[in-house]
Structure 1
Amino acid sequence: MRKYNVQSFPRPPAVERCPKHIQIKWHGQLIADCPPGEGYWVLETHHAPTYYIPASIVRIPISTTPRTTFCEWKGTATYYSMMSPINANEVIPNRIWSYNEPSKGYEPIKGFLAFYCGPWECYADGERAHPQPGDFYGGWITSDIEGVIKGQWGTWDPVLSC
């Protein structure tokens, strides 16, 4: 298995076609299935990869929320809510986002959706992913991701000892 060290990821972040099969499930029910090469991953120093998948493959309705955030690299993010496919009274807000007008260099992810690694179950090549520390970033950690990952202390960069 190839290993990826987050300390070797670039800054500004790189956008690449994702070589992994991405699946997102809600209580075991498949809500998105992205074959290798159809989505993107964004790789940034000290971040677990963030996966962007085509909106057309998401099998549940989503709707925009008033929330937006700004990334110095990618621009302004739009957030979405999802109605639970199991319980029509349950709505999950602001755990999916996209860049509908991304900054120069990030046009490939325009309109693609990124999912926080939770509350749903997220899989990369069949392996259950875990969320990047904290709740500010949306990276997914799998066994092939190594290095010091930021997020535990919000936006502060990790301190590395020599």
Structure 2
Amino acid sequence: MNSEAAIRAAQNQWKHRGAQRPAFALPTQPGQESVWDYPRPPALLSDTRTVQVRAKGNTAPIANSVRALRVLETAAPPTWYIPKQDIDMQRLVELKGQSSFCEWKGAATYWAISNASAQPVAWSYEKPRSEFAALQGHICFYPSRVECYVNDERVRPQPSEFYGGWVTDEVIGPFKGDPGTSHW
């Protein structure tokens, strides 16, 4: 899916675009964000909170940053992209032959932990679409496959093995990823 017509068709398929919360959206409390207020196309924001990533059971961080980028998209918890300069890249290996395509960000590259299984633990957009050029040189990790932290809060994974949203106490759903939510 790389023709502009196919990309536009994929972008236009979404029912919810952050303009109005659906009736099933959970109410927020002070200090919380509803994923139903996030826009589509997604927003890209800088964030200076401390973000850390560790391999499960390993105390040495793979990544440690205060320069992450948060992608906020309707119905999904934020994804946190960490600059490669803040990642121990010797601990990751690019998975050749594995890719996917996001109608907003472009073609994804997947990463695994070196000397471990070939299961992806992270992804990046090495050549993102122009609207998301700031993501170049950043990697996002799956909180279901590694331990992710925002300001010492352990991140919980978004439902589904495909999505990689970071659920924290500040984010309210429900979230895309459960059965029957693919059209959200």
Q: TM-score range by the shorter chain?
A: 0.7 to 0.9
Q: Cα gap change, 1:19/1:146 in structure 2, threshold over 3 Å: closer, same or farther?
A: farther
Partner of 1:134: 160
Higher helix share: 2
Partner of 1:13: 42
TM-score (normalizing by structure 1): 0.86
Matched residues in 2 for 1:128 and 1:79: separation?
A: 23
Q: Cα gap change, 1:155/1:82 in structure 2, threshold over 3 Å: closer, same or farther?
A: farther
Partner of 1:114: 140
Partner of 2:79: 50
Aligned with 2:104 (options 46, 69, 73): 73
**What is the CA-CA distance between 1:111 and the residue it aligns to?**
2.1
Q: Which runs of 5+ in 1 are unaligned?
A: none
Query: Which digits, 9 at most, give the CA deviation of each residue in 1:14-54, with x for residues without a partner?
Result: 1110242111112132221111xx11010000000000001
Aligned-residue identity in percent:
35
Equivalent position SS for 2:134: helix
Kept in 2: contact 1:132–1:139 (CA 8 A):
yes
TM-score (normalizing by structure 2): 0.76
Segments of 4+ moved more than 6 angstroms: none
Aligned with 1:98 (options 124, 129, 132): 124
Higher strand share: 1
> Given residue 139 of structure 2, which amino acid in structure 1 is its aligned partner?
L
> Given residue 52 of structure 1, which amino acid in structure 2 is its aligned partner?
Y
Q: Which runs of 5+ in 2 are unaligned?
A: 1-29
1:31 aligns with 2:62: yes
Number of aligned positions between the proteins:
151
Kept in 1: contact 2:121–2:146 (CA 8 A):
no
Which protein is bigger by CA-based radius of gyration? 2
Kept in 2: contact 1:67–1:94 (CA 8 A):
no
Q: RMSD in angstroms over aligned alpha carbons?
A: 1.7
Matched residues in 1 for 2:152 and 2:71: separation?
A: 19
